[in-house]
Amino acid sequence: MFLRVDKLQIELPAPEKQDANAAAALQELLGGKYGEMSTLGNYMFQSFNFRSKSKLRPFYSLVAAITAEEIGHVELVSNGVAMLANGPDEPDADMGDGGDISNASFEAMKDARLAGAFFSNAGGATPVNSNAMSWNADMVTTTGNVVVDLLHNFHLECGARLHKLRVYESLTDPTGREVCGYLLVRGSVHAHAYALALKKITGVELEKFLPTPNIPLDKIPECQKYLAEGSHRRLYTFSPDDYREMAGIWGNGEVTLPDDPPGELEIVEGMPDGGKIHDLVGTPSAFTPDYAPEEMFEIATKLYKKSR
Ligand code: MN
Ligand code: MN
């Protein structure tokens, strides 16, 4: 089962300006070949399909717990995409009616790279890549063979770090950069974790491959606070009671990668503190959440009071 918490894994800064093309670039990290839909889909179905779960508990727990983190990454990137498409936080922007809709108020959107993201989704995220190509089940590998699956996951995390860096290098807005900086650190943890799992089974010191690609995290400002707080040493269980057995793989005397701040690897029960989900402010002229939403807001306020 899954438990849902109404937060993001980190605090995101509000965007400085509306930038539909920056949102499109960030879509690559959601629905691209190595995007969060792919890591989620792979680990989720591998964990469902895992053979001999009881006997292989540490390995099963590792894939299961990382699955939960990945759905949070899907949520984080989706929020980043929608925030960039939406623009700065403006709490009162959704008040009033939409004005003269015959005035082509969204003329600029016809030139946006993913114009359909506005026309169909009001700038919201969907599981597509930066060119609107649909993410699909062909991106999921679940072979039933633990070594092949873990090796696939190791490759997936290395590939993910590569396109996170490239997307980072294409963005200047703080929202998109924060998403990339955090995910680069977490991707490094996941690649390291799958390497250690493979080492336990095969004896091959796959962690010596890392970092692949050789991305210097110390050169990326957005990574620094996550390294300082030790995020690169932590794996979370994302569960009140389960998945602690992965400490045999992540922990058990294993230490950080040579280029990262030194320390022992540790399992944290539960989840990170996280940050708030920004309100995606409505635009009445785009009929989000509607043309004149006041009555809807009033109804919701009454319902909220009744729930207290
Ligand atoms: Mn991820
Ligand atoms: Mn990952």
217-232 residue pLDDT tens = 999 999 999 999 999 9
Question: In this predicted structure, what is the pLDDT of residue 253?
Answer: 95
Q: How far is the CA of 185 from the centre of ligand 1 (A)?
A: 10
> What does the pLDDT read at residue 116?
96
pLDDT at 93: 87
C-alpha 211/C-alpha 213 separation (Å) is 6
From the CA of 182, the nearest ligand is 1
86: pLDDT confidence band, cut at 50, 70 and 90?
very high
Residue 83 pLDDT: 98
Report pLDDT for 92.
87
Does 289 reside within a domain? yes
What is the number of the ligand closest to the CA of 71? 1
Provide the domain limits for residue 124: 20-90+98-307
> How many whole angstroms from 300 Cα to the centroid of ligand 1?
34
Kindly report the number of other CB atoms within 10 A of residue 105's CB atom. 14
**Residue 198 sits in a domain of what CATH number?**
1.20.1260.10
Ligand 1 center–CA 183 separation, angstroms: 6
The single-letter code of the amino acid at 9 is Q
Cα(231) to centroid of ligand 2, in Å? 13
Let me know the angle formed at the C-alpha of 270 by 268 and 273, rounded to the nearest 5 degrees: 90
Task: Tell which residue, 209, 226, 208, 213, has the closest CA to residue 161.
Answer: 213
Confidence of residue 95 (pLDDT cuts 50, 70, 90): confident
- What is the radius of gyration, based on Cα positions, of the chain? 21
Strand-pairing partners, residue 267, are 235
Q: Is residue 149 part of a domain?
A: yes
> Residue 8 falls within a domain, yes or no?
no
- Distance from the alpha carbon of residue 152 to the mean position of ligand 1, in angstroms: 14
Could you tell me if residue 169 is inside a domain?
A: yes
Domain count within the chain: 1
Average pLDDT (255-261) is 96
pLDDT tens digit string along 160-202? 999 999 999 999 999 999 999 999 999 999 999 999 999 999 9
Q: Distance from the CA of 298 to the center of ligand 2, in angstroms?
A: 41
What tens digit of pLDDT does each residue of 106-147 get?
999 999 999 999 999 999 999 999 999 999 999 999 999 999
Q: Supply the pLDDT for residue 54.
A: 98
| Interval between CA 162 and ligand 2 midpoint (Å) | 12
Mean pLDDT of the chain: 97
Measure 190 CA to ligand 2 centroid, in angstroms. 5
Mean pLDDT of 281-293: 93
Task: For residue 125, tell me if it sits in a domain.
Answer: yes
Q: How confident is the model at residue 42, as a pLDDT?
A: 98
Q: Spell out the alpha helix ranges (H) of the chain.
A: 20-31, 36-49, 57-86, 115-119, 146-170, 174-202, 224-228, 294-307
3-state secondary structure of 193: helix
What are the two backbone dihedrals, phi and then psi, of residue 138, each rounded to the nearest 5 degrees? -65, -15
Q: How far apart are the first and last CA of the chain?
A: 27
Q: Does residue 5 form part of some domain?
A: no
Q: Please report whether residue 14 resides in a domain.
A: no
Q: Residue 81 is encoded by which pair of tokens?
A: 């995409």
Q: How far is the CA of 52 from the centre of ligand 2 (A)?
A: 24
Domain annotation covers residue 6: no
Q: Which ligand neighbours the alpha carbon of 73 most closely?
A: 1
